């Protein structure tokens, strides 16, 4: 079968498969229906999120490394196939346990798709246009975030909660069929040469470390689970130490941990965790304010929340074009600063006329930051590790979001609706501003 020659067409195919991941924002809208369908307590619904996120967060770097070894197209095709099967499983789930198992499979599919999506996107374009490719790829996430909540409202109302999974099956099937025409492994990468030995021990240690760390954060705010949280944190620390030791020993590690000895590179990755932690305050807490205080309907709520994602759709391609003209550190700092200002405006609780443009500003800032950050990671790691580079960018984003879900909710619950909301957003704005300052100080070498 002839390969796709047009870079934009190829990117559209990659985007089709990738889109099913940010469209998972639809699931949050379906939570009330899922609770009712399976007659489960409301707090138990959190495992629909946890089972999915833990899986793809812990496996993303592993699959990125596999993509660098055997070819990114193969991993992407596997992701489309696994995702299609998982969405069918979710849509037909006869019991809550079955749904959770299907969500684990969905997490594996998401990890496969995300681990090699950025690498495939950048290899479609000349290396000098890498940032442009990443800008267009990042815009896909904004598009999914903008479309997801409003679409979910219609689907759930007309066909029930199962529709938010079923609607993504055709997307996966179409992406699987079309992705066969994507370019194979680029010449000069390990996938085009001799077989390498996969570091299974390192992969296992990293999966344990990430899973235990995220579960520890989740359980830290659960009543009566402090002891379990400490045990999980201990497991995470031991596994992480073991992972670092293993990666320093093997010839071809999952990721070269020596890169993080560079303070600037470490700061940039930490910054991506922190900026996504802070930004998640919008999706996590804004619905409470908009429904209870502003009195919005569910459909209106979806439209308002789409403002942030819409801002990213606009700014991410722009950031890709600006990357060659403006220093990467400047884009990072400006992006983080815009997020800080926007979250501060939301904290003011001055009404929709302030909140809506603030959410758009937040999305613009996130788009600038994400593209500049991913481009830095891609050019810092060698070309043969492009899958790992893209996976690292996606993983740090996920770690920030998941950690934010626990930390921000903990702050929110310290007061009433209004005071807790303001406190959480003030903290998020402060954290974003501190991230901008840290990057201005530490990221100079990665301009």
Report the range out of 146-160, 315-329, 339-353, 394-408 with the highest average pLDDT: 339-353
Query: Residue 157: which residues within 8 A CB-CB, separation 6 or more?
Result: none
**Does the structure show a pLDDT above 80 at 18?**
yes
**Which residue stretches of 280-327 are H helix?**
281-288, 298-322
Q: Are residues 265 and 247 in the same domain?
A: no
Q: Are residues 354 and 393 in the same domain?
A: yes
Q: Are residues 15 and 127 in the same domain?
A: yes
**Does the structure show a pLDDT above 90 at 358?**
yes
Instruction: Say if residue 351 is exposed, middle or buried (CB neighbours under 10 Å; 0-12, 13-18, 19+).
Output: exposed
Q: Are residues 135 and 217 in the same domain?
A: no
Find, among 313, 1, 409, 333, the residue nearest to 184 by Cα.
1
| Residue 212 domain flag | yes
Q: What pLDDT is attached to residue 191?
A: 45
Residue range 417-434: mean pLDDT, rounded: 92
**Does the structure show a pLDDT above 50 at 188?**
no
Q: Are residues 356 and 306 in the same domain?
A: yes
Cβ–Cβ < 8 Å for 117, 17? yes
Please state, in angstroms and as integers, the Cα–Cα distance from residue 77 to each residue in 65, 94, 113, 180, 243, following that order: 16, 28, 8, 7, 28
Q: Are residues 312 and 242 in the same domain?
A: no
Query: Residue 180: which residues within 8 A CB-CB, separation 6 or more?
Result: 1, 73, 77
Q: What pLDDT is attached to residue 5?
A: 53
Cα distance between residue 134 and residue 141, in whole Å: 11
| Residue 356 domain flag | yes
| Residue 238 domain flag | yes
Q: Which domain holds residue 106?
A: 1-182
| Residue 34 domain flag | yes
Last residue of a domain, one of 224, 251, 278: 251
Q: What pLDDT is attached to residue 61?
A: 87
Query: Position of tokens 């592993």?
Result: 62
Cα distance between residue 215 and residue 242, in whole Å: 19
Q: What pLDDT is attached to residue 192?
A: 46
Last residue of a domain, one of 150, 182, 214: 182
Q: Are residues 357 and 400 in the same domain?
A: yes
**Does the structure show a pLDDT above 90 at 29?**
no
Cα distance between residue 331 and residue 415, in whole Å: 35
Q: What pLDDT is attached to residue 427?
A: 95
Cβ–Cβ < 8 Å for 272, 398? no
Cα distance between residue 160 and residue 115, in whole Å: 31
Cα distance between residue 52 and residue 109, in whole Å: 10
Q: Are residues 215 and 104 in the same domain?
A: no
Cβ–Cβ < 8 Å for 416, 288? no
Cβ–Cβ < 8 Å for 320, 312? no
Read off the CATH number of the domain in which 60 is found. 1.20.1250.20
Q: Are residues 417 and 370 in the same domain?
A: yes
Query: Position of tokens 């501060």?
Result: 344
The residue among 342 and 116 whose pLDDT is bigger is: 342
| Residue 76 domain flag | yes
| Residue 194 domain flag | no
Find, among 160, 184, 196, the residue nearest to 72 by Cα.
184
pLDDT in tens, 232-257: 999 999 999 999 999 998 888 888 88
| Residue 328 domain flag | yes
Total domain count, the chain: 3
Q: What pLDDT is attached to residue 2?
A: 45
Cα distance between residue 268 and residue 439, in whole Å: 7
pLDDT band at 366 (very low <50, low <70, confident <90, very high): very high
pLDDT band at 409 (very low <50, low <70, confident <90, very high): confident
pLDDT in tens, 293-343: 888 876 777 788 888 888 999 999 998 888 778 888 889 999 999 999 999
Tokens representing 166 are 């079923």
Residue range 169-195: mean pLDDT, rounded: 73
Residue range 364-376: mean pLDDT, rounded: 91
Residue range 28-51: mean pLDDT, rounded: 82
Q: Are residues 170 and 224 in the same domain?
A: no
Residue range 6-22: mean pLDDT, rounded: 87
The residue among 295 and 347 whose pLDDT is bigger is: 347
Q: Are residues 214 and 294 in the same domain?
A: no
Query: pLDDT exceeding 70 applies to what percent of the chain?
Result: 94
* Residue 280: HSE in the Cβ half-sphere, 13 Å Cα cutoff: 22
| Residue 41 domain flag | yes
Report the range out of 286-290, 355-359, 390-394, 442-446 with the highest average pLDDT: 355-359
pLDDT band at 444 (very low <50, low <70, confident <90, very high): low
Q: What pLDDT is attached to residue 246?
A: 92
Q: Are residues 104 and 174 in the same domain?
A: yes
Tokens representing 5 are 């020659």
Q: What pLDDT is attached to residue 189?
A: 46
| Residue 217 CB neighbour total at 10 angstroms | 21
**Does the structure show a pLDDT above 80 at 36?**
yes
Last residue of a domain, one of 251, 286, 310: 251
Q: What pLDDT is attached to residue 443?
A: 67
């Amino acid at each position: 079968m002839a390969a796709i020659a047009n870079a934009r067409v190829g990117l559209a195919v990659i985007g089709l498969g990738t889109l099913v991941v940010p469209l998972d924002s639809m699931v949050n809208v379906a939570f009330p229906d899922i609770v009712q369908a399976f007659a489960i307590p409301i707090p138990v619904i959190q495992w629909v999120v946890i089972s999915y996120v833990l899986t793809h967060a812990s496996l993303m770097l592993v699959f990125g490394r596999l993509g660098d070894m055997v070819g990114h197209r193969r991993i992407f095709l596997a992701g489309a196939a696994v995702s299609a099967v998982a969405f069918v499983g979710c849509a037909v789930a006869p019991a809550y346990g079955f749904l959770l198992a299907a969500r684990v499979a969905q997490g594996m599919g998401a990890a496969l798709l995300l681990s090699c999506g950025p690498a495939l996107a950048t290899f479609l374009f000349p290396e000098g246009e890498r940032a442009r490719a990443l800008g267009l790829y990042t815009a896909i996430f904004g598009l999914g975030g903008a479309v997801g909540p409003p679409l979910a409202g219609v689907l759930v109302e007309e066909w029930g909660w199962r529709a938010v999974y079923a609607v993504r099956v055709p997307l996966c099937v179409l992406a699987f069929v079309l992705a066969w025409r994507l370019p194979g492994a680029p010449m000069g990468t390990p996938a085009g040469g001799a077989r390498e030995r996969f570091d299974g021990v390192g992969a296992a240690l990293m999966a344990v470390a990430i899973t235990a760390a995220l579960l520890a954060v989740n359980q830290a705010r659960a009543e009566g689970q402090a002891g379990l949280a400490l045990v999980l944190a201990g497991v995470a620390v031991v596994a992480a130490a073991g992972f670092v030791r293993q990666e320093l020993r093997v010839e071809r590690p999952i990721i070269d941990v020596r890169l993080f000895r560079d303070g600037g590179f470490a700061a940039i990755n930490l910054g991506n965790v922190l900026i996504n932690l802070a930004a998640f305050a919008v999706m996590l807490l804004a619905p409470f304010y908009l429904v209870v205080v502003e009195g919005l309907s569910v459909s209106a709520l979806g439209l308002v929340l789409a403002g942030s994602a819409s801002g990213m759709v606009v700014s991410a391609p722009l950031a890709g074009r600006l990357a060659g003209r403006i220093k990467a550190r400047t884009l990072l700092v400006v992006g983080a600063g815009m997020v800080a200002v926007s979250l501060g405006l939301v904290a003011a609780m001055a009404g929709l006329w302030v909140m809506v443009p603030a959410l758009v500003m937040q999305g613009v800032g996130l788009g600038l930051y994400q593209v500049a950050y991913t481009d830095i990671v891609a050019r810092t790691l060698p070309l043969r590790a492009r899958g790992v580079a893209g996976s690292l960018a996606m993983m740090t984003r996920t770690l920030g979001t998941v950690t934010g879900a626990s930390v921000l909710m903990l702050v929110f619950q310290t007061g009433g609706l209004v005071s807790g909301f303001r406190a959480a957003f003030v903290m998020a704005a402060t954290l974003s501003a501190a991230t901008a300052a840290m990057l201005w100080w530490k990221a100079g070498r990665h301009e």
